[in-house]
Chain A
Amino acid sequence: MKRSNTMMMAIALTLILTLLAGCAPKANQAGGDSNTGAAGEQANTPTNGTGSKTLTVAYSEGGQTLDPAEANDLTSDTLVLSTYDQLVTYGVKNVNGADIAATEEIKPMLAESWDVSDDQKTYTFKLRKDVKFHSGNPLNADAVVFSLDHIKNSNSGGFLYQQASIESFRKVDDATVEVKLERPNHMFLQILAMYSFSVIDPQAIEGDANEFLKTNTAGSGPFKLEKWDPSSEAVFVANDNYWQERAKLDKVVMKFMKEASSRTMLLNKGDIDLAMEIPPKDVDTLKQNNDLTVRSDASNRILYMGLNNNMKPFDNPKVRQAIEYAIPHDALLKDVMYGQAKQMKSIVASNTPGFSDKGYVYEYNLDKAKQLLKEAGYEDGFQFDFTLGSGFKDWEDAATVIQAELKKIGVTMNINKLARAQFLEQLRTGNVQAFMSKWTSFVNDPEYHLGFLVDSASSSNYVHYNNTKVNELLKQAAVETDMTKRNGMYEEIQSLINTDMPYLYMYEYNRLVAFNNDVKGYIFFPDECLRFYPISK
């Protein structure tokens, strides 16, 4: 009995292990076919038929919540953006033939217009009168006030509320809302356009609002959510009573597939229309397929290695600089990211206005690294613990490459791999010596990166960096209305950071999205979320 069990396990595991990638897509394909069949009932044609208006997209994760104020991952954000509208939205510009969002250009959405007071501290929004929520209730000032109140008291969106420096808000009349700021804030409208500030229909809520919104939608967006099962898929249908032109798609099926190779393979075979989070190594394979378009847009997402500035030996800036000299940037870009990334030369992403690489003098040089270690008193090297959050293959690959490199200068890097949830928990408790993490700037402004990562008062400053000069400059820049002066201050901050090196720079990601050539209207947004509304097929 036991023997045959073990034998069976042995055989089963060998089979599973060696054939996993080969089998998984087949299993998924069967699921995909049956599901698109169901999805196609409205259009009465299978997905690969020409007349279908069903878009099937693949994501890695199934999302955590439907609550706009609590959403904090790519899938949840996309679910919110499809079903909710915001007061204002971003413009779109065409750069080198590709559509990307123009975040500096704010356009009306649920608010048809707004007035700004002379002191830049009071915004008065006039709401559209023709907007109806999915429930049929009309949009009014009460809904906006409710929504602002909801985000103010939320866990995840609360920080954005603070970042927007909102002091108070009130209903003026049914179609007018007034928002007062603590100080002039050049990022206010940009933040207001984020999914977190979606306008919620308070009348549609049954019972406790926080509980209800977690698993239900109460928006006015272009799509209605028909089904959301984080373990398999989400299904949207077009909102026929949308206040703007009806969406061009009838139905959107979001499929959740953890295995990156499955997403690539299904897309390659034409079983899905669009895949998010393509592994960089698969880009070349996908590009060879003439039916596919691969979009690779420079994002504001950076990957950094945080070194705890309070812990030995990283409390010494020389040690941090030494390690930066030992990082093989070319290898990271070429062998880990397969060219789908850019080298970081500041803690701010290079396509952010106000970016400056001033003070970034580092290049891969092991002798220089050794010399700096010697000056810091670590001639014989040292050991440190590096905490690796699982879930991103490139993080692990980058860590392994760096580990091998550091070995050459006598530094032993012990990699402790943790599940993502445990990793985030450890970061919060603040006792991590070194780690790797990403940061995305949803708002195309250096304050977003700097305020969170290097301000000593920030809760995301997990490296415990504290430079009084930097803190001071950040405070000044936040209230500076003159763009040129402000960018001057940001340049000075970035140069100070580049000298102190509280973080080591890995790379700036490209957002990789691949889709069938018949999918039109893809727009890249700095929050990297996909908007289904402009897409047609």
Chain B
Amino acid sequence: MKASTSPSAVVAAASEPSMLQEAWFALRQWSKLFLRNKLAALGLFLIVLWTLFAVAAPLVAPYAPDATQLEAKLQGPSGAHWFGTDQFGRDIFSRVIYAARISIWTGLIAVGISFFIGVPLGGIAAYYGGWIGNLIMRVMDIFLAFPSLILAMAIAAAMGPGLISAMMAVGIVGIPEFARLMYSQTIYLKEREFVEASRSIGVKDSAILVRHIFPNALAPLLVRITLGMGFSILTAASLSFLGLGVRPPLAEWGAMISEGREYIITGEWWLVTFPGLAIATTILGFNLFGDGLRDVLDPRLRTSRK
């Protein structure tokens, strides 16, 4: 859509009405396809649910997340404490709700880092090619050579434990995925007529990349963003589980599971179960939604799936 507003896209103007029509048609078809996919709808529901919880946490949560109440410690689920209480008598339901804020923020910021660094790198690498493209993509390959969680742990440990470093670690780990996706899209798009046309009338490289190539690569990137959210939340929770994430007393799902795991054998199962379910449903939501999104945005995969 940005391409159509470009004042220099004179040649492209001929195809403009058809592109708009195409877009409108596609949108209608997408939403139809999307709603037909019940799993994707469930995914969207879960995402919306958790986002609402996160936004409205102070309204939803019956207690403050860090309010200790030692005389009520380790109580099972009840009317007063729906998900029970932890070893300090903190309400687990409230903590799970508040933790959604942290997890969703972590996901957004981490994916943001991956996106805003990975996409330009991939675009530049593919558009210019040559040694610069080689250099960028080989560095990305090096990143990909490490298992992502191990790399995130190494980065987080090097920066010192904390929420910020966990977010950055997860973000950095996600860069190569975005770079590679943008790279393959750009390689394909840069040979298309509308790009060649822009180049032939002297549009600057940066403008071609930002105004012509990027908008056309947006669909697969959107899918990647959604799936990346799930990955980031999970990796951040894993880091917290390993003690490389949030600082006490902040509520975070991974950290809650880590703190609660010692209580399983003495029968206090609710300390880990509820944050575990929260992680599971959130990740499931993003993954189902991402899958559904891919189905509607990528026609090549559409037929191969039911």
Instruction: Spell out A's residues near B (CB within 8 Å).
Output: 2-3, 6-7, 9-10, 13-14, 17-18, 20-22, 25, 260-261, 264-265, 279, 281-282, 285, 331, 334-335, 388, 390, 393, 396-397, 399-401, 403-404, 414-419, 422
Chain A residues near B241 (CB-CB < 8 A)? 17
The interface-forming segment of B50-58, B106-114, B229-237 is B229-237
Instruction: Kindly provide the distance from the CB of A534 to the nearest chain B CB, expressed in whole angstroms.
Output: 31
Chain A residues near B262 (CB-CB < 8 A)? 21, 260-261, 279, 281, 393
> Once the chains are docked, how many angstroms separate the CA of A397 from the CA of B280?
27
Instruction: Kindly provide the distance from the CB of B115 to the nearest chain A CB, expressed in whole angstroms.
Output: 15
Chain A residues near B247 (CB-CB < 8 A)? 414-417
Given contacts A10-B280, A21-B262, A260-B262, 6 further A-B contacts (CB under 8 A): A6-B230, A335-B88, A400-B249, A401-B68, A403-B248, A417-B243
Q: Is the CB of A6 within 8 A of B249?
A: no
Chain B residues near A264 (CB-CB < 8 A)? 265
Chain A residues near B70 (CB-CB < 8 A)? 331, 334-335, 401
| B264 contacts partner chain A, Cβ-Cβ < 8 Å | yes
Q: Is the CB of B234 within 8 A of A6?
A: yes
Q: Pick the residue among A9, A279, A331, A422 that contacts B234 (CB under 8 A).
A: A9
Which B residue sits closest to A397, measured CB to CB?
Answer: B87
Chain B residues near A388 (CB-CB < 8 A)? 248
Chain A residues near B16 (CB-CB < 8 A)? none
Q: Is the CB of A404 within 8 A of B287?
A: no
List residues 215-239 of chain B with CB under 8 A from any CB of chain A.
227, 230-231, 234, 237-238
> Once the chains are docked, how many angstroms separate the CA of A513 from the CA of B231?
42
8 closest Cβ contacts across the A-B interface?
A: A21-B264, A18-B276, A10-B283, A404-B68, A14-B280, A261-B265, A335-B70, A17-B257
> Once the chains are docked, how many angstroms separate the CA of A136 from the CA of B70?
60
Which A residue sits closest to B265, measured CB to CB?
Answer: A261
Chain B residues near A285 (CB-CB < 8 A)? 265-266
> Once the chains are docked, how many angstroms separate the CA of A415 from the CA of B255?
14
Chain A residues near B243 (CB-CB < 8 A)? 390, 417, 419
Q: Is the CB of B279 within 8 A of A20?
A: no
30 contacts between A and B (CB under 8 A): A3-B287, A3-B291, A6-B234, A6-B283, A6-B287, A10-B279, A10-B284, A13-B238, A14-B279, A17-B261, A17-B272, A18-B273, A18-B276, A21-B265, A22-B264, A260-B262, A261-B261, A285-B266, A331-B70, A388-B248, A397-B88, A399-B248, A401-B68, A403-B248, A404-B66, A404-B67, A416-B160, A416-B162, A416-B247, A418-B161
| B290 contacts partner chain A, Cβ-Cβ < 8 Å | yes
Instruction: Spell out B's residues near A (CB within 8 Å).
Output: 66-68, 70, 73, 87-88, 157, 160-162, 177, 227, 230-231, 234, 237-238, 241, 243, 247-249, 254, 257, 259, 261-266, 272-273, 276, 279-280, 283-284, 287, 290-291, 294
Q: Is the CB of B266 within 8 A of A18?
A: no
Main secondary structure of the interface of B (DSSP, over half): helix
Q: Is the CB of B73 within 8 A of A335?
A: yes
Q: Is the CB of A13 within 8 A of B279?
A: yes
Which A residue sits closest to B68, measured CB to CB?
Answer: A404
- Take A6-B234, A285-B266 as given contacts and tell me if A396 and B227 are in contact as well, using a CB distance cutoff of 8 Å: no
Q: Is the CB of A10 within 8 A of B265?
A: no
> Once the chains are docked, how many angstroms separate the CA of A265 from the CA of B273?
20
Chain A residues near B291 (CB-CB < 8 A)? 3
Q: Is the CB of B87 within 8 A of A18?
A: no
Q: Is the CB of A404 within 8 A of B227?
A: no
Q: Is the CB of A401 within 8 A of B88?
A: yes
Which B residue sits closest to A335, measured CB to CB?
Answer: B70
> Once the chains are docked, how many angstroms separate the CA of A393 from the CA of B73?
16
Q: Pick the residue among B160, B257, B287 that contacts A10 (CB under 8 A).
A: B287
Q: Is the CB of A418 within 8 A of B160?
A: yes
Q: Is the CB of A17 within 8 A of B160?
A: no
Chain B residues near A422 (CB-CB < 8 A)? 160
Q: Is the CB of A20 within 8 A of B161?
A: no
Which A residue sits closest to B231, measured CB to CB?
Answer: A6
Most B CB within 10 A of own CB, among A13, A397, A419 = A13
Chain A residues near B265 (CB-CB < 8 A)? 21, 25, 261, 264-265, 282, 285
Which B residue sits closest to A20, measured CB to CB?
Answer: B261
Chain A residues near B273 (CB-CB < 8 A)? 18
Chain B residues near A417 (CB-CB < 8 A)? 161, 243, 247-248
Q: Is the CB of A2 within 8 A of B279?
A: no
Most A CB within 10 A of own CB, among B73, B88, B287 = B88
Q: Is the CB of A17 within 8 A of B266?
A: no
Chain A residues near B287 (CB-CB < 8 A)? 3, 6-7, 10
> Once the chains are docked, how many angstroms separate the CA of A279 from the CA of B262?
9
> Once the chains are docked, how many angstroms separate the CA of A265 from the CA of B68?
29
Q: Is the CB of B264 within 8 A of A261?
A: yes
Chain A residues near B294 (CB-CB < 8 A)? 3
Chain B residues near A13 (CB-CB < 8 A)? 234, 237-238, 279
> Once the chains are docked, how many angstroms separate the CA of A25 from the CA of B264?
12
Chain B residues near A17 (CB-CB < 8 A)? 241, 254, 257, 261, 272, 276, 279
Chain A residues near B88 (CB-CB < 8 A)? 335, 397, 400-401, 404
Chain B residues near A20 (CB-CB < 8 A)? 261, 264, 272
Most B CB within 10 A of own CB, among A17, A21, A419 = A17
Most B CB within 10 A of own CB, among A6, A388, A418 = A6
Instruction: Kindly provide the distance from the CB of B87 to the nearest chain A CB, expressed in whole angstroms.
Output: 7
Chain A residues near B248 (CB-CB < 8 A)? 388, 396, 399-400, 403, 415, 417
Q: Is the CB of B257 within 8 A of A404?
A: no
> Once the chains are docked, how many angstroms separate the CA of A418 from the CA of B280?
28
> Once the chains are docked, how many angstroms separate the CA of A418 from the CA of B160?
7
Instruction: Kindly provide the distance from the CB of B36 to the nearest chain A CB, expressed in whole angstroms.
Output: 19
Instruction: Kindly provide the distance from the CB of B46 to the nearest chain A CB, expressed in whole angstroms.
Output: 12
Instruction: Kindly provide the distance from the CB of A400 to the nearest chain B CB, expressed in whole angstroms.
Output: 5
Instruction: Kindly provide the distance from the CB of B107 to the nearest chain A CB, expressed in whole angstroms.
Output: 13
Chain B residues near A397 (CB-CB < 8 A)? 87-88
Which B residue sits closest to A22, measured CB to CB?
Answer: B264
> Once the chains are docked, how many angstroms separate the CA of A393 from the CA of B262?
10
Instruction: Kindly provide the distance from the CB of B47 to the nearest chain A CB, expressed in whole angstroms.
Output: 14
Chain B residues near A335 (CB-CB < 8 A)? 70, 73, 87-88
Q: Pick the residue among B160, B249, B264, B272 that contacts A404 (CB under 8 A).
A: B249
Q: Is the CB of B234 within 8 A of A10?
A: yes
> Once the chains are docked, how many angstroms separate the CA of A355 from the CA of B282?
56
> Once the chains are docked, how many angstroms separate the CA of A393 from the CA of B247?
14
> Once the chains are docked, how many angstroms separate the CA of A419 from the CA of B154?
13
Which A residue sits closest to B241, measured CB to CB?
Answer: A17
Which A residue sits closest to B246, measured CB to CB?
Answer: A417
> Once the chains are docked, how many angstroms separate the CA of A279 from the CA of B263?
10
> Once the chains are docked, how many angstroms separate the CA of A187 from the CA of B87?
42
Instruction: Kindly provide the distance from the CB of B94 to the nearest chain A CB, expressed in whole angstroms.
Output: 14
> Once the chains are docked, how many angstroms separate the CA of A67 from the CA of B88?
41
Chain A residues near B266 (CB-CB < 8 A)? 281-282, 285
> Once the chains are docked, how many angstroms separate the CA of A7 from the CA of B234?
10
Q: Is the CB of A9 within 8 A of B231?
A: yes
Instruction: Kindly provide the distance from the CB of A340 to the nearest chain B CB, expressed in whole angstroms.
Output: 15
Chain A residues near B234 (CB-CB < 8 A)? 6, 9-10, 13
Chain A residues near B227 (CB-CB < 8 A)? 2-3, 6
Instruction: Kindly provide the distance from the CB of B199 to the nearest chain A CB, expressed in whole angstroms.
Output: 32
Chain A residues near B68 (CB-CB < 8 A)? 400-401, 404
> Once the chains are docked, how many angstroms separate the CA of A13 from the CA of B241?
10
> Once the chains are docked, how many angstroms separate the CA of A397 from the CA of B68?
11
Chain B residues near A393 (CB-CB < 8 A)? 262
Which B residue sits closest to A393, measured CB to CB?
Answer: B262
Chain A residues near B254 (CB-CB < 8 A)? 17
> Once the chains are docked, how many angstroms separate the CA of A261 from the CA of B294?
43
Instruction: Kindly provide the distance from the CB of A222 to the nearest chain B CB, expressed in whole angstroms.
Output: 34
